[in-house]
Amino acid sequence: MSTFGGGVTMPWKPPKTYKPDPSIPGALIHGSPTVGTPLFDMVVYWQWTHYWWENKSSDQAWIDLHMSPANARKAIDQEIVPPEIYDKVRERALQ
């Protein structure tokens, strides 16, 4: 068992010789972002719009995300907002 960021335990243990691919984003190498953070919101949005089993449109994923105004402001400050929803996140940040 391996425990990742946010206390998520996975039934997989990396082999002793495991070395992550350097092209993988840091959040994926070091575990999941903490639930309730702007990074978590952006990861969820990305998963909903890019994985075939979710296959949500950008608009539907944004509606379902329910991002808080505080997280929207932090996401803009951290520059982690995808361009296709930047205007929506900015509008939410101003609420």
The pTM for the full model equals 0.65
* Helix H or strand E segment including 10: strand 8-10
With residue 73 as reference, give the H or E element that holds it.
helix 69-77
Parse the chain into domains and list their residue ranges.
2-93
pLDDT in tens, 32-82: 788 899 999 999 999 898 887 778 999 999 999 999 999 999 999 999 999
